[in-house]
């Protein structure tokens, strides 16, 4: 054992692999940014976003997969929300203009939630996303 002041540190323990802690929410967990929520609140206050856009955003967040990909098509999302695809498309356009969601480059009509608002995935990947 090594001694540092009155604290003893066993070197072997430092290098032992710790068991992975499983989150009580399982895969249904995401980090939410307080700054992102503040931006969302501002958009609501200045009426840039309406309730329809908020409904669409929350539904997209409910269907969000790792690295914030929205894992549902616009057609299925409109059906789930009981709204016309044209209304969903307009709400999505507003969300893109407010930088709350992003279009996925390789899939037409599919989106990704902005990592500035929330994140589902590895923290290291989030740091890369925010630095870009």
Q: Does the predicted TM-score (pTM) go above 0.85?
A: no
pLDDT at 8 over 60: no
pLDDT digits (tens, 9 = 90+) for 30-45: 899 999 999 999 999 9
Range of the domain at 87: 30-131
pLDDT digits (tens, 9 = 90+) for 67-118: 999 989 889 999 999 999 999 999 999 999 999 999 988 777 789 999 999 9
Q: Is 104 part of any domain?
A: yes
User: What are the DSSP E strand ranges found in 1-132?
Assistant: 2-4, 7-9, 31-32, 101-103, 111-113, 118-119
Q: Is 80 part of any domain?
A: yes
pLDDT at 63 over 50: yes
Greater confidence (12 vs 92) lies with 92
The predicted structure's pLDDT at residue 1: 46
Structural domains in the chain (count): 1
DSSP single-letter state for residue 125: H
Q: Which two tokens stand for residue 46?
A: 């200045």
The SS3 of residue 81 is helix
The SS3 of residue 121 is coil
Instruction: Give CA angle at 12 (9, 18), nearest 5°.
Output: 100
CATH of residue 49: 1.10.10.10
């Amino acid at each position: 054992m090594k001694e540092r002041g009155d604290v003893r540190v066993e070197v072997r323990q430092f290098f032992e692999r710790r068991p992975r802690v499983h989150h009580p929410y399982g895969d249904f967990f995401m980090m939410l940014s307080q700054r992102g929520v503040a931006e969302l609140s501002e958009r609501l206050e200045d009426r840039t976003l309406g309730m329809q856009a908020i409904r669409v955003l929350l539904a997209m967040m409910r269907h969000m997969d790792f690295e914030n990909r929205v894992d549902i098509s616009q057609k299925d999302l409109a059906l789930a929300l009981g709204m016309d695809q044209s209304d969903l498309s307009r709400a999505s356009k507003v969300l893109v203009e407010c930088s709350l969601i992003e279009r996925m480059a390789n899939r037409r009509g599919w989106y990704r939630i902005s990592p500035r608002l929330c994140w589902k995935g590895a923290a290291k990947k989030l740091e890369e996303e925010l630095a870009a």
